[in-house]
Structure 1
Amino acid sequence: MSTLFISAPGALNLNEINHRQIQNEVIAGVQAPAPKVAVMPSAVDATLEKLALESSKRQHVIVVGAGISGLRAASVLQRHGIAVTILEGRPDRIGGRICTSRRDGKGARDIGAAWMHETSQNKLVQLIPKLGIEYYYDDGTPLYYTRDGRAGSQFKAKKVADEFADWIEWYYDENPNAPDRSVKDSVDDFVAKHPLITASERKWAPQATREVELWIGTSIDNASAKHLSYFMTERNLYMKGGYDKIVNWTAKPLLKDPNMIHLGEVVKNITWGDSDLSTVVQTQNGTYAADAVIVTVPLGCLRRNTISFSPPIPASIQRGLNSFSYGALGKVFVEFSEVFWPKDNDQFMYYPSPIPAGAPIDESSILSYATVTSNLWIMSGSKELCIQVAEPLTQRIESMDHTDLYAFFEPLFKILRTEPYKDLPDLLNIETTHWTLDPLAGFGSYSVEKVGDNSEILVNALDEHRNKRLQFAGEHCIEVGNGCVHGAFETGEIAARNLLGIFGKEWDGQDTTARSVSP
């Protein structure tokens, strides 16, 4: 007489289930297979009933996305005895918008997130010495450039721009119901009415304000003045040892189960409810059932409705999603045979020349756009520069081939020369981001408040629905740390703790980043 082998199910893959013909199959294939139980065919129904009962006692959560927020949510849930299935759309890697390139012994190059911000309250900073990650504080004095070369020490337009940032924050604190305007319109009005600045400062201060574009990933024509994020008073820490070490640390307990993370699973539809096994997640390859779901896809994906929800997302959360925008910060890494730029400064800020109101910009020239260039020679010892640009330029440079890319940036490189009479050294390597071409990144880099937006609507709505079995996490789901890795990490923990409360499990209170390197 033949013998049937049955493994205890994890998240139920509905495409694999056959209650009468299980012959030597693992029902779920998403948890480490439990020891197989040999039973006689006459006992199949009773065994299935017992396994179903045991499975029902162990809640199961599907996490959509294996970025830092999804990995953190999964690790917290796993630590509390919750079964987890992670569905990741990328076929070849985890980490999401953290993407570290390691090139033949030349060190790490972070194509996505590369800095730790808000370091005074960023608990991920505690992992750096524990994991032995090399780092560099790039908060030295930058050099400022215009089309005519390096700006002198009396270039005060930057200080006027800082003054505007102070003023606009005060203005909206005093007038919280005042209508939102673009940063460009607001700074133009500010300098026009300023009684004490010079004509040159009046002309150049709006250009200096464009430095904010390289923080938030969008132009001052689109950025919200009411929610302007200009000052980053905390120190900024460059992860020269690679952000992938943080990803690997977060994923370590999950990777012990080779079947927990499913790569190449692009989620198309999520059906959710308020009871056990009311969650059904459909991908292009299969269908999964669980007791709850955490959605960690980028805001750009949610804004583009790449996933359908049944029933629809709660109305207040949908309003929040519609009240928050998505930007596109681009990077270009350029390696040369020799260092030709100033060696002693962390960054080089380029301000484009003012143009008359209504005049079109010269889109064919990089010198028409604000850029910030990081000196990777001083930061990581490599003979390369990293140039950051903001949309709408990002979309263009990410579509260029390498030959056109170098030719486009060459005028900027020439301005940075310490010996202008010398030719540029040989180009060894050039690489650019491609987030705006990536549907799994939401065709951009991270969230930003454009004119009329208000991120608080989404954050408040998520808190309002913290008792739902549909949870959201990611850098767009938090105010402190918004747009940053540590913010995304925190939201994964928040979503997991919300589900623990729903399941009647008490959070163990561990902050593993502070206590040890063992998740």
Structure 2
Amino acid sequence: MSTLSISHPGALNPNEINRSYQVITAPLPIQNSKPLIWSTGLESPDNYGNGVKKAHVIIVGAGISGLRAASVLQRHGVGVTILEGRPDRIGGRIHTSRKSPNGKARDIGAAWMHETSQNKLVQLIKKLDIEYYYDDGTPLYFTKEGRAGSQFKAKKVADEFADYCEHYFETHPHAPDRSVKEFIHEFVENHPLITNSERKWAPQAIREVELWIGTSIEEASSKYLSYFVTERNLYMKGGYDKIVNWAVRPLQKDPETIKLGEIVKNIQWGESDNSIVVETLKGDKKSTFKADAIVVTAPLGCLRKKMINFEPALPEDIQEGIDNFSYGALGKVFVEFEEVFWPKDNDQFIYYPSPLPEGTPIDESSILSYATVTSNCWIMSGTKELCIQIAEPLTQRVEAMTSTKDIYAFFEPLFKLMRTEPYEDLPDLVNLETTHWTQDPLAGFGSYSVEKTGDESELLIEALENHNRSRLQFAGEHCTIVGNGCVHGAFETGEVAARNLLETLGVAYDGNDTTARSVSP
């Protein structure tokens, strides 16, 4: 009998939670001077097949889903090789920066644990001694005219619309999708019990959702509106890289497991031993890797842009699923000041742009034309900085800017609105840092998946289930409904892909992985 204890549903098994933890203080070493062709089938007896050789699996990508898939497979005696395109780090769209003079962590990528009641990664917070903060206190709301009062009921009308969307598409499952902007304007026009002011401002208040899904309400799907969710969000004060370091720890026994700087260009795949052939490019050097199975964790944006060629082509249902699931672009701007000039006791500051007459173009030169959600890093981390979240199409513009002076000047009107003393000048700027996901091909030129108008995201999930015994598996935040777009969702898909391959390869599963649907102490 295994000495590993079987966990309750939803829990990480105790052996994994309590394993030795080491912080990686430097990037993983980059492998050099390796042969061009790698045979990753390891010739050693194992429980694979008739015991004549050990199964080997290639993992494309060293993000959280790839690391988790590799760890589960390795624990079962399966050899793994992770091909990571980035030359200097692992983690994918989890990326913690410490460029600020104060040395504090800034999560350029994922920063929160969502759905904490069913997120098993929450169990690692205490074990890894990660500083955290629940940022679900009362936010402050702003418009161009200043701070909105406590009776700003247009926000409640927007909430009512989100509830109506869910009801409408449940009762009209075959109704055509509508953009959020189109549908909410119809909703408020036909609502008999709201004021004219609420009718004007509710479509602006619904724009808050842009800063969660990473796209504008002009593009976002009403059918899949991810808005009316009751959950707590836990901010990772100490940096999300601590979770990455924990996930990679069991894979560090063999320094050859993770190969950095290997950009996957072509995947030949089949359903027999040694049928996987992966071609990579590292600088101008081409390499080939072979294996018995593969897990592709490339971001959805990469798959949609066909940055990896598959031979033969992907199954029609998987390709259809990819084509019918969009990719968003949430951006962040971190701005550190000499002094705190904003309200210190509120977690977030939410700004709504003013409604415009029909047909009036927005002033793209002004930040006050766009909805933003600004996190108060002072209350969360004790730093004198703000983190402004933005959504596409603004994200692409800001991330393409190279001048700190220009970026600051663009956001300055927003900062002035947040002053507790409106007559005082803003304090000196200390440091400014932005995300660059829309400039990053290895991130798929965006941040995470999102349902835009007309999408059918369930097609991809159904297709992956249809091929759950294939030697070609996929994992990542786009491969799940529960925890979609979140770290814990991506983590879970790594486990699912690994379990699928274990069954396909005939390797007995030890039962120690669980789902993200519940959590136990």
2: distance between equivalents of 1:376 and 1:135?
12
* Alignment counterpart, residue 489 of structure 1, candidates 477, 485, 491: 491
Aligned to 2:321: 320
1:336 alignment partner AA: F
Aligned to 1:100: 96
| Correspondence list, 1:27-46, <5 A | none
SS at match of 1:170: helix
Equivalent residue number for residue 465 of structure 1: 467
- Once the two structures are superposed, residues 297-316 of structure 1 have per-residue CA deviations (whole angstroms, 9 ceiling, x without a partner) of 00000000000000111110
Name 1:352's counterpart in structure 2. Answer: 353
Distance 1:146 1:268, change over 3 A: same
Within 5 Å, give how 1:70-85 maps onto structure 2.
70-85=66-81
1:371 aligns with 2:367: no
The CA distance in 1 between the partners of 2:159 and 2:223, in whole Å, is: 15
Task: Among all aligned residue pairs of Structure 1 and Structure 2, give the percentage whose two residues are the same amino acid.
Answer: 73
Aligned residue for 2:400, secondary structure, equals coil
Q: Specify the alignment match of 1:185 in structure 2.
A: 182
Q: Matches of residues 359-508 of structure 1 in structure 2 within 5 Å?
A: 359-400=360-401, 401-508=403-510
- Following TM superposition, by how much is the alpha carbon of 1:144 offset from its aligned partner in structure 2, in angstroms? 0.2
Secondary structure, counterpart of 1:374 in structure 2: strand
Larger radius of gyration: 1
Report the 3-state secondary structure (helix = DSSP H, G, I; strand = E; otherwise coil) of the residue aligned with 1:339.
coil
Please give the alpha-carbon distance, in whole angstroms, between the structure 1 residues aligned to 2:130 and 2:514. 17
For the residues of structure 2 that align with 1:507 and 1:351, how far apart are their CA atoms?
51
Classify 1:16/1:332 alpha carbon distance in 2 versus 1 (closer, same or farther; 3 Å): closer
- Deviation of 1:102 after TM superposition, in Å, equals 2.0
Alignment map for 1:54-93 (pairs within 5 Å): 57-93=53-89
TM-superposed deviation, 1:497: 0.3
Distance 1:154 1:396 in 2: 34
Amino acid in structure 2 at the alignment position of 1:263:
L
Please report the TM-score for the alignment, with normalisation by the length of structure 2. Answer: 0.89
Spell out the pairing of 1:91-130 with structure 2 (5 A cutoff).
91-103=87-99, 106-130=103-127
Question: Is this contact kept in 2: 1:330–1:432, CA < 8 A?
Answer: yes
Matched residue SS, 1:286: strand
Cα distance, 1:512 vs structure 2: 8.4
Q: Does 1:194 align with 2:187?
A: no
Q: Against the structure 1 CA distance between its residues 456 and 14, is the aligned structure 2 distance closer, same or farther, given a 3 Å change threshold?
A: farther
- Following superposition, the deviation at residue 436 of structure 1 comes to 0.2
Q: Deviations over 1:37-83 (max 9, x none)?
A: xxxxxxxxxxx9999x9995200000000000000000000000000
- With over 3 angstroms needed to count, the CA separation of the structure-2 counterparts of 1:49 and 1:388, relative to structure 1, is closer
1:235 aligns with 2:237: no
State the alpha-carbon separation in 2 of the partners of residues 453 and 105 from structure 1: 43
Over 3 Å counting, the alpha-carbon distance change for 1:355 and 1:56 in structure 2 is farther
Give 2:143's aligned residue.
146
TM-score w.r.t. length of structure 1: 0.89
* Alignment partners' CA distance in 1, 2:248 and 2:410: 39
Distance 1:55 1:205 in 2: 65
CA contact (8 A) 2:44 2:53 kept: no
Answer whether contact 1:118 1:232 (CA < 8 A) is retained. Answer: no
What is the identity, as a one-letter code, of the residue corresponding to 1:352? P
> Quick one: structure 1 residues 459 and 50, their matched pair in 2 at CA, closer, same or farther if it must change by over 3 Å?
closer
Partner of 1:39: none
- Using CA pairs under 8 Å that are at least 6 residues apart, name the structure with larger relative contact order, 1 or 2: 2
The whole-number CA distance in structure 2 between the counterparts of 1:180 and 1:304 is: 24
Match in the other structure for 1:22: none
CA distance in 1, matches of 2:508, 2:404: 53
Cα distance in 2 between the residues matched to 1:249 and 1:361: 46
Counterparts of 1:404 and 1:177, CA distance in 2: 47
Secondary structure (helix, strand or coil) at the match of 1:398 reads helix
2:27 corresponds to which residue? Answer: none
Are 1:163 and 2:160 matched, yes or no?
yes
1:258 maps to what in 2?
Answer: 255
The residue type equivalent to 1:80 in the other structure is: H
Counterpart CA distance in 1 for 2:410 and 2:434 is: 13
Output the CA distance in 2 between the equivalents of 1:466 and 1:205: 43
Three-state SS of the structure 1 residue aligned to 2:273 is coil
Structure-2 separation of matches of 1:330 and 1:109: 13
Structure 2 Cα separation of the partners of residues 50 and 163 of structure 1: 61
Say whether the 8 Å CA contact 1:142–1:347 is kept in structure 2: yes
**Cα separation, partners in 2 of 1:14 and 1:431, compared to 1, 3 Å:** closer
Cα pair 1:72 1:250 within 8 Å, conserved = yes
Distance 2:307 2:498 in 1: 23
Is residue 298 of structure 2 the alignment partner of residue 297 of structure 1? yes
More off after superposition, 207-216 vs 231-240 = 231-240
Unaligned residue ranges in structure 1 (runs of 5+) = 1-12, 18-26, 35-47, 515-519
Q: Determine if contact 1:72/1:493 at 8 Å carries over to the other structure.
A: yes
Question: SS of the residue aligned with 1:413?
Answer: helix
Separation in structure 1 between the aligned mates of residue 501 and residue 247 of structure 2, nearest angstrom: 19
Report Cα offsets for 1:87-114 as digits up to 9, x if no partner.
0000000000000012455221100000
CA contact (8 A) 1:319 1:457 kept: yes
1:21 alignment counterpart: none
Contact 2:460 2:479 survives alignment (8 Å)? yes
Equivalences, count: 476
Distance 1:251 1:194, change over 3 A: same
Deviations 1:112-140 (A, max 9, x none): 00000011100000110111000000000
Deviations 1:187-234 (A, max 9, x none): 000000000100000000000000000000000000000110002311
Is the Cα contact below 8 Å between 2:342 and 2:419 reproduced in 1?
Answer: yes
The 8 Å contact of residues 271 and 278 in structure 1, kept in 2 or not, is answered as yes
- Superposed CA deviations along residues 442-478 of structure 1, whole A, max 9, x for unmatched, are 0000000000101110001000000100000000000
Tell me: CA distance 1:322–1:404, structure 2 relative to 1, closer, same or farther (3 Å). same
Name the CA shift for 1:512/1:243 in 2 (closer, same or farther; >3 Å).
farther
Distance in 2 between residues matched to 1:49 and 1:209, nearest whole Å: 59
| In 1: Cα distance, 2:276 partner to 2:225 partner | 39
Partner Cα distance (1:462, 1:82) in 2: 22
Q: Give 1:256 deviation, angstroms.
A: 1.6
Structure 2 unmatched runs, 5+: 1-32, 517-521
CA distance 1:180–1:58, shift in 2 (3 Å): same
Q: What is the CA–CA distance in structure 1 between the aligned matches of 2:44 and 2:132, rounded to whole Å? A: 54
Structure 2 CA distance for partners of 1:288 and 1:421, relative to 1, 3 Å: same
RMSD of aligned alpha carbons = 2.0
101-110 vs 435-444, which moves further = 101-110
What CA distance in whole angstroms lies between the structure 1 residues aligned with 2:181 and 2:397? 22
CA distance in 2 between partners of 1:459 and 1:466 (Å): 11
User: Matched residues in 1 for 2:316 and 2:515: separation?
Assistant: 35
Structure 2: distance between partners of 1:151 and 1:360 = 24
